[in-house]
Chain A
Amino acid sequence: MNTNEPAVTIAFYVFSALTLGGAAGVVFGRNMFHAALFLVASFFGLAGIYVLLQADFLAVVQVLIYAGAISILVVFAIMLTRQVERGNEWNQLRGPGLLLGVLLLLGLLFVLTGTQWYTGMGPYPADTVSTLARQIFGPWVLPFEVASVLLLAALVGAIIIAREE
């Protein structure tokens, strides 16, 4: 894919607008259900950007996990919450919330400016799936297994908490 093609540029701006607009909708929307839908739109826009970056596996997994599964989790939370349409009340936590938000922004800016962004690193691999698999199940197998065990522990813990005596 030639990234200088006008169609690719237009697609990039469309997906960026979808991602950022969706994220803005999540933050500023007062209706919880609408916020969840904006979140799905934002996930979808991000998947489009991955496609433009030729990260096909990442794009598909983004849709499968985030737009498909995480959003369902949010929907479950909405279904199980009373009077969800009313949204959050204003409360005493505005000060600490602002502080945390600014700290997070500063941290992200620090990482953004401190990272060396590689560009134009040779040809793009033809088959991303097997390349990723060789990496995950080769040099990185231990972190992968640790993450799996962590998820399993969380699953077992959730069952123990939810189980009725």
Chain B
Amino acid sequence: MTVLDYLYDLSNLVQAFANWLSTFAPGWVVYWVVGLIAVATTLLFAVNNTLAMNYIERKVIAHFQVRYGPNRAGPYGLLQPVADAVKILLKEPIIPAVADRPVFLLAPIAAFVPAIMPWAVIPFTPQMMVADLNVGVLYVFAMGSLATIPIFMAGWSSRNKFALLGAMRAVAQMVSYEVPLVLSIVGVVISAGTLSLRGIVEAQAVPYVIPQFLGFLVFFVAGLGELNRSPLDILEAESEIVAGYHTEYSGFMFILYYIAEYTHLWAYSAFITTFFLAGWRGPLLPPYVWFVLKMLFVAFLLIWLRATMPRLRIDQLLSLAWKFLLPVALVNVFVTAVGVFIFG
């Protein structure tokens, strides 16, 4: 293999390393070392994206609002996220005296775990994924459904009325948006005939955003609701309830929520790429480059929405989920099933 082959799919590099390692190390050492490399690179990629997104989001929104954005620290302000991270890590983490202490301390960690878990099944290339589960789609939604509890833990244990209000809004919103989110992906699963994420990408000769446009629409909007992203971010509406469920958090405990939120966001971009934009498939460029480019495109759409749309009210938000997204998702399932039955 030439250098180009190694660069075309980085997992070839790991494979070569594993082959070299197995010449003198026992099998279980190779297994654990390769596994740890895969997990560590995925984790680092997911978490470092927070820094990148912090910069991209501020810069893009600044340009939408006809101003410069961060431009002092480093060239083009590129070191601004690093400076911010250092600053916030040096702040004192304050625990309220009346807080439910064990739950208060556990909540940020519990919020981080479901944000990082879905990365295990994201297929960057046919080989570059930690695990190809044959229940991959269900695994993704199972991990997504775990994200609600830590938010409620934070709001409840803070003993702060704004935190509790934010947490109650979060539970109502995330329960409502989970139903259309799961239903919207059923069309994709019926068309692809598999629950494996690699299988779904391999089934997309045409990206599913075209034949499954209704499903894409519902998934995109319901995903915004699950992510609590603007314009559906009433649970941390700063003009009404301060900062929502993480009002009482400061220092590194706050930064864990921040990282969890952006890790969720990137995972969501990766799932839209996988389910609807044909994942790693594309001409010329290496597969993982295509994947990351598509992810960046989805992230840009999200920032664009945040910069242009006003925030919805809670009743508008819930009726959007139950009276619009849910029926559309059901119609999509029905039409897809009939279509696959007749033509498939």
Contacts and interface: CB of A to CB of B under 8 A. Distances in A.
B258 to A, nearest CB: 23
A68 B208 CA distance: 28
A64 B137 CA distance: 11
B103 A34 contact: yes
A102 to B, nearest CB: 33
A37 B138 contact: no
Interface stretch (A71-79, A141-149, A156-164): A71-79
A69 interface: yes
Contacts of A126: 134
B130 interface: no
A127 interface: yes
B133 interface: yes
Contacts of B175: 72
Given A60-B135, A75-B149, A76-B171, 10 more contacts: A37-B153, A56-B134, A57-B138, A61-B142, A63-B146, A64-B141, A68-B145, A71-B149, A72-B149, A126-B134
Given A60-B139, A129-B134, A40 B103 contact: no
A37 B133 CA distance: 28
B152 interface: yes
A46 interface: no
B56 to A, nearest CB: 31
B156 interface: yes
A66 to B, nearest CB: 10
B100 interface: yes
B206 interface: no
B168 interface: yes
A57 B143 contact: no
Interface residues of B, number: 21
Given A33-B100, A56-B133, A75-B152, A63 B145 contact: yes
A18 interface: no
Interface string A123-163: 00011110000000000000000000000000000000000
| Best-surrounded residue of A56, A64, A67, A76 (most CB of chain B within 10 A) | A64
Interface in A79-126: 79, 126
B250 interface: no
B195 interface: yes
Nearest to A68: B145
A149 to B, nearest CB: 18
A64 B134 contact: no
B146 A56 contact: no
B219 to A, nearest CB: 17
| Best-surrounded residue of A40, A68, A71, A129 (most CB of chain B within 10 A) | A68
A60 B138 CA distance: 6
Contacts of A127: 134
B103 A64 contact: no
A72 B138 CA distance: 18
Given A67-B145, A67-B146, A68-B145, A61 B138 contact: yes
Given A56-B134, A64-B145, A33 B171 contact: no
Contacts of B171: 72, 75-76, 79
